[in-house]
Amino acid sequence: MLDVETRIARLHAERWIAHTAATQILETLQEAFTQRRSERMENVLLIAESGMGKTSLIRKFERTNAADVDPVSGVGPRPVVVMLMPEEPNEDAFFVQLLKAIDAPFDLSSRRHRLALRETTFRILRELDTRVLVIDELNSLLVGTARQQRLFLQLLRFISNELRIALVCTCVPEARRALLSDPQLRSRFSDLELPPWKADAELQAFINLLAQGLPLRSPSPIDSAKIRRLLIERSGGITLIVCRALERAGEVAIRNGQERIDLASLADPTIWRGMRPTSTRFGRSRSVGLP
Amino acid sequence: MPRLPLAPPPLPDEAISSWIARIAARYDLSTDALVQNLLPNETDNAEMARRIDVCACKPLEDTLAVVAGVPIASFARQRLAGLAANPHTAWPRRNPVWCPLCAAQDVAAFKEVYFRQEWGFGGYLMCSQHRCLLIASCPICLHQVEHRPLNGRLRLWCQHCEKCADAALPSRLTPFWPYGTPQQHRRCITIRLSNEDAVSLLLQVQSDLLAALDGTWPRTAWARGLKRHGLFSILRALSFVMLGPLWEHAYRFLPRYGGFAPAWSLPDDWTPGSLPPEVAAPALLASVTFLAAENRVRLHGVTWNPRLLFPGESDLIRAETLVWHLSATDAEWVRRLFGSPVVRPFALLLAALRSNLCGRGAMREGARRRQGAGGAERRIRESEWRRGAETAEARVARQRSEQEKPPAERFAISRFIEGYPSSSRPRLSRAQVEAPFAVYAALGLDSPADVVPPDFDGTLLGDRYIRLWLARHKHLPAQALTATLVAALETARSRACGLVLPELSATTPATPATSAMTR
């Protein structure tokens, strides 16, 4: 029997739960991964509210397509490279971030030419046989001026053409308009949406799986419409908040010996402390269509 | 620290520094930048990267093992055994050298160059596979070459030619040294090994040295006379002596004492490894040939400076070449060196030094030092002096007489060599030169028999003044000479003044005492 602290540590561990929407998105991403290299690659724009699990999804995609190191040539192929968008749409910052993402050392002091960093990065990506470049948090694009944004979108298009790799960008719905303002780029991106949860059977399946994964000793009676409504009302349908609420409830259940989560424990306002659905975003994301 | 995405494994005979440079090149970085990236918290990164071929650097090796996925035990295999010791016993190289043919092959095979472990050892001067001298400069323009990551691969880049220097074949030009000095300023004789014998000798020597690094004592002839632990230090000192004229620059910055230059001193950290191969090779070959001559083994086929050799023997270095080459300070150096207990007594050289300290080279050297000028300055001054002092005909005559002088008469040491062509002058028999011996015997000064050459002409005996006097009067009978000498010595002793020997004429004895004795 594990003691309380170990179980709580295990409760907070990261887990991957394959719900329907995520599986569909992963399939689309895999499609982008397996497409033939060409001048015009099919790119994916993944749009979801903050906290919907975009990053976990992408990490899952990266893990699925990981490759082993070739001991003869010493090349550790990276078919999928996941990078974080720098805080500003700036070319140099972008390439530094990209080199960091593939664990490559770089030296900013000895750069001879402005393009040296770019050429080095391109060559390394070619040698690593990269097929998909994932840019997380593309919404940082929005902090730049219009000119900076335009330059950066141009850069994205250039990377895709030059390296013949597919781009997968994730962003919050606000960034979609900025990204798709470039007509050439718009025609190459297919956008996918990970919508917030609704109080339906999918949410039920998701929280069932989630509760089963928790290290509780007795089964949790959470299969009810009331609980679904409660969760949606309090979380606004954001995955992160739902998960955190269930984890907190689970921790409470372990500590007080109840060993299960039920409506009463979920309704307790203390487990929802600090978590609030952003009401402005809720509802608006549906009204935003393609420009 | 995560594994680097591109980290080629080390090649079997590759040096560690070369391997690090190749990894760094994958990211278009220099070695220093990569090491700085890997160990951001260490302070002596550059030093560590420089010394990793020679000694173990724990933090760097640990990090490299993780980052490149290589077992830690493999580092010891990548390092040349024995180089870790101090530079007196082993010669780590400072500047990179490479075999032009190996580099060209590597570029064809791997699209990049890599450095062999042996190239880091200062005694390795010739590629054993291609049998050509290693080079340390661009084979086309003879300028210095740097490592540069080019398109993700490590290449040798010549900034002067603005292209890669590794694909070029060895040049027909002979580089001069120090690099960048114009031809008229160069002070060093470089070597071109055309002779097959010389090549095999150098290969033999360097494989012996590599074996000695590893702890195996060479069994070849040249090393026979040396004590075990003296091999590297003797060769180091001898090569330094061979390069004597090279150190003129260093010499000019030294303080002077009473107008005389202090003896050159061998810096502690100097090794033949700090020379480019085409300069180190003749020095090493000359040293080895000399050692072999000392062991009465003749090694044929070494091209050295042809000016210093005799006609007909243009491809041979011998002990006398060294003596010829030596200046007074170098001679002092050699005497000190060979007087040390670790070496077998170098009777040959010591005898030569005792008998004839002033070779032509030494005189020139002495003049140079007195005038305090070196190199071009001195040459200009000398030529001006000559032009003023002698007419054109006289100069031609002098040059011709220098050239036409029979080899045997150039300097005395040649007589010690067995089988050496004898002097053109008729040999003197022992009976003909009896007189000086008798004089010495009478004076109780026994002549040193071991240094008397077969064609003794009286120049090797004792005090220079007495010696010259005896040589001038050797046709006179022994008693007369002895009596005169004894009288002069007694006079000198009684008056407490210098010895004055009278001039005796051939036919009429000058003093009655001697004439009485002859009668």
Q: DSSP letters along chain A, please? A: ---HHHHHHHHTS------HHHHHHHHHHHHHHHSPP-SSPPEEEEEE-TTSSHHHHHHHHHHHT----BTTTTB---SEEEEEPPSS--HHHHHHHHHHHTT----STT--STTHHHHHHHHHHHHTT--EEEEE-GGGGGGS-HHHHHHHHHHHHHHHHHHT-EEEEEE-HHHHHHHTTSHHHHHHEEEEEEPPP-SSHHHHHHHHHHHHHS--SS-----SHHHHHHHHHHHTT-HHHHHHHHHHHHHHHHHHT--S--HHHHH-GGGGTT----TTHHHHHHH----
- What does the angle CA A96 – CA A101 – CA A104 come to, to the nearest 5 degrees? 70
Alpha-carbon distance of B171 to B118, in angstroms, equals: 22
The alpha carbon dihedral of A136, A141, A143, A144 has a sign of positive
Q: Closest residue of A to B26, CA-based?
A: A124
Residues B343-394 have pLDDT tens digits of: 433 444 444 444 433 334 444 444 544 554 455 555 655 665 555 656 667 7
Identify from B6, B36, B150 which residue to disrupt to test chain A contact, counting A C-beta atoms within 10 A and taking the largest count: B6
Residue pointed to by tokens 């292209």: B163
Res. A133 pLDDT band, cuts 50 70 90: very high
- Asked if the C-beta of B29 comes within 8 angstroms of chain A's C-beta atoms, the answer is yes
B338 pLDDT more than 60: no
Between residues A147 and B466, which one has the greater pLDDT?
Answer: A147
Let me know: does A82 contact A136? Beta carbons within 8 Å. Answer: yes
pLDDT of residue A211: 86
- What would the two tokens of residue B23 be? 């990894």
pLDDT of residue B472: 73
Nearest to B185 by CA among B399, B384, B380: B380
Alpha-carbon distance of B327 to B117, in angstroms, equals: 37
B430 pLDDT more than 90: no
Q: Averaged over B495-506, what is the pLDDT?
A: 70
Q: Averaged over A232-252, what is the pLDDT?
A: 87
**A residues 48..77 contacting B (CB < 8 A):** 69, 71-76
B261 pLDDT more than 70: no
State how beta strands A43-48 and A166-171 pair: parallel
DSSP string, B314-344: TT---HHHHHHH--HHHHHHHHHHHTSTTBP
- Asked if the C-beta of B7 comes within 8 angstroms of chain A's C-beta atoms, the answer is yes
For chain B, percent of residues with pLDDT exceeding 70: 49
Let me know: does A115 contact A166? Beta carbons within 8 Å. Answer: no
- Asked if the C-beta of B8 comes within 8 angstroms of chain A's C-beta atoms, the answer is yes
Nearest residue, CB atoms, A71 vs list B2, B9, B38: B9
Query: Phi-psi region for residue B509, left (φ > 0), alpha (ψ -120 to 50) or beta?
Result: beta
Which of A26-30, B156-160, B189-193, B279-283 comes out lowest in average pLDDT? Answer: B189-193
Between residues B151 and A277, which one has the greater pLDDT?
Answer: B151
Q: Averaged over B269-296, what is the pLDDT?
A: 74
Let me know: does A189 contact A45? Beta carbons within 8 Å. Answer: yes
Nearest to B274 by CA among B137, B96, B127, B143: B96
Burial B126-140 (b: 16+ CB within 10 A, else e): bbeeeebbbbbbbbe
ipTM: 0.83
Residues B57-101 have pLDDT tens digits of: 888 888 999 988 888 888 888 887 777 665 556 788 878 889 888
Which of B43-52, B100-109, B374-383 comes out lowest in average pLDDT? Answer: B374-383
- H or E element in which residue B157 lies: strand B153-158
The alpha carbon dihedral of B137, B140, B145, B151 has a sign of negative
Alpha-carbon distance of A204 to A210, in angstroms, equals: 10
HEC string of B105-135 equals: HHHHHHCCCCCECHHHECCCCEECCCCEECE
B177 pLDDT more than 70: no
Nearest residue, CB atoms, B27 vs list A75, A76, A120: A120
pLDDT of residue B169: 67
Alpha-carbon distance of B217 to A214, in angstroms, equals: 72
Alpha-carbon distance of A83 to A86, in angstroms, equals: 9
pLDDT of residue B285: 77
Q: Averaged over A19-35, what is the pLDDT?
A: 90
Q: How far is CA A86 from the centre of its chain?
A: 15
- What would the two tokens of residue B458 be? 């009286």
pLDDT of residue A278: 62
Size of interface A-B (CB pairs under 8 A): 65
Res. B449 pLDDT band, cuts 50 70 90: very low
Res. B294 pLDDT band, cuts 50 70 90: low
- Asked if the C-beta of A225 comes within 8 angstroms of chain B's C-beta atoms, the answer is no
Q: How far is CA A245 from the centre of its chain?
A: 20
Let me know: does A239 contact A247? Beta carbons within 8 Å. Answer: no
Q: How far is CA B37 from the centre of its chain?
A: 43
Please report, as a single letter, which amino acid is at residue A180: L
**A residues 99..138 contacting B (CB < 8 A):** 102-107, 109-110, 116, 120, 123-124, 127-128
Nearest to B261 by CA among B250, B271, B272, B276: B250
pLDDT of residue B265: 54
Q: How far is CA A23 from the centre of its chain?
A: 13
Residue A1's alpha-carbon distances to A8, A211, A217, in angstroms, are 13, 19, 11
Let me know: does B312 contact B337? Beta carbons within 8 Å. Answer: no
pLDDT of residue A80: 94
Residues B208-230 have pLDDT tens digits of: 888 888 778 877 777 776 766 67
B20 pLDDT more than 90: yes
Burial grade of B178 (CB within 10 A; 0-12, 13-18, 19 or more): middle
Q: Closest residue of B to A71, CA-based?
A: B9
End-to-end CA distance of chain A: 57
DSSP state at residue B307: G
- Asked if the C-beta of B5 comes within 8 angstroms of chain A's C-beta atoms, the answer is yes
Cβ distance of A127 and B6 shorter than 8 Å: yes
Torsion of CA A93, A98, A102, A106, to 10 degrees: -40
Alpha-carbon distance of A7 to A95, in angstroms, equals: 41
Residue pointed to by tokens 């491809």: B315
pLDDT of residue B456: 42
A225 pLDDT more than 50: yes
With both helix axes pointing from N to C terminus, report the angle between B360-371 and B375-389 in degrees, rounded to the nearest 10. Answer: 100
Please report, as a single letter, which amino acid is at residue B178: P
B336 pLDDT more than 80: no
Let me know: does A89 contact A152? Beta carbons within 8 Å. Answer: yes
Residue pointed to by tokens 């940082």: A140
Between residues B55 and A141, which one has the greater pLDDT?
Answer: A141
A1 pLDDT more than 80: no
Alpha-carbon distance of B298 to B226, in angstroms, equals: 17
Between residues B83 and B293, which one has the greater pLDDT?
Answer: B83
Residues B132-162 have pLDDT tens digits of: 888 888 877 777 888 888 888 999 988 888 8
Res. A51 pLDDT band, cuts 50 70 90: confident
For chain A, percent of residues with pLDDT exceeding 70: 93
pLDDT of residue B498: 62
Identify from A62, A106, A125 which residue to disrupt to test chain B contact, counting B C-beta atoms within 10 A and taking the largest count: A106
Q: Averaged over B33-61, what is the pLDDT?
A: 84
A79 pLDDT more than 50: yes
Residues A155-193 have pLDDT tens digits of: 998 999 899 999 999 988 888 887 777 787 788 888 888
Residues B308-333 have pLDDT tens digits of: 344 444 334 444 444 444 555 555 55
Between residues A7 and B174, which one has the greater pLDDT?
Answer: A7
Residue B277 Cα, gap to closest chain A Cα (Å)? 32
pLDDT of residue B49: 81
Which of B36-40, B403-407, B476-480 comes out lowest in average pLDDT? Answer: B403-407
Query: Phi-psi region for residue A204, left (φ > 0), alpha (ψ -120 to 50) or beta?
Result: alpha
Burial A149-173 (b: 16+ CB within 10 A, else e): beebbebbbebbeebbbbbbbbbbb
- H or E element in which residue B45 lies: helix B45-51
- H or E element in which residue B164 lies: strand B163-164
Q: What is the pTM of this model?
A: 0.69
Residues of A in contact with B38 (CB under 8 A): 105
Alpha-carbon distance of B344 to B290, in angstroms, equals: 13
The number of residues making up chain A comes to 291
pLDDT of residue B409: 45
For chain B, percent of residues with pLDDT exceeding 90: 5
Q: Averaged over B12-27, what is the pLDDT?
A: 91
- Asked if the C-beta of B207 comes within 8 angstroms of chain A's C-beta atoms, the answer is no
Alpha-carbon distance of B247 to B259, in angstroms, equals: 18
Strand order in the sheet with B163-164: B145-150, B153-158, B163-164
- Asked if the C-beta of B71 comes within 8 angstroms of chain A's C-beta atoms, the answer is no
pLDDT of residue A27: 92
Q: Closest residue of A to B36, CA-based?
A: A107
Residues of B in contact with A102 (CB under 8 A): 5
Between residues A7 and A185, which one has the greater pLDDT?
Answer: A7
Q: Averaged over B237-249, what is the pLDDT?
A: 58
- H or E element in which residue B280 lies: helix B277-294
Nearest to B206 by CA among B279, B294, B132, B127: B127
Cβ distance of A105 and B9 shorter than 8 Å: no
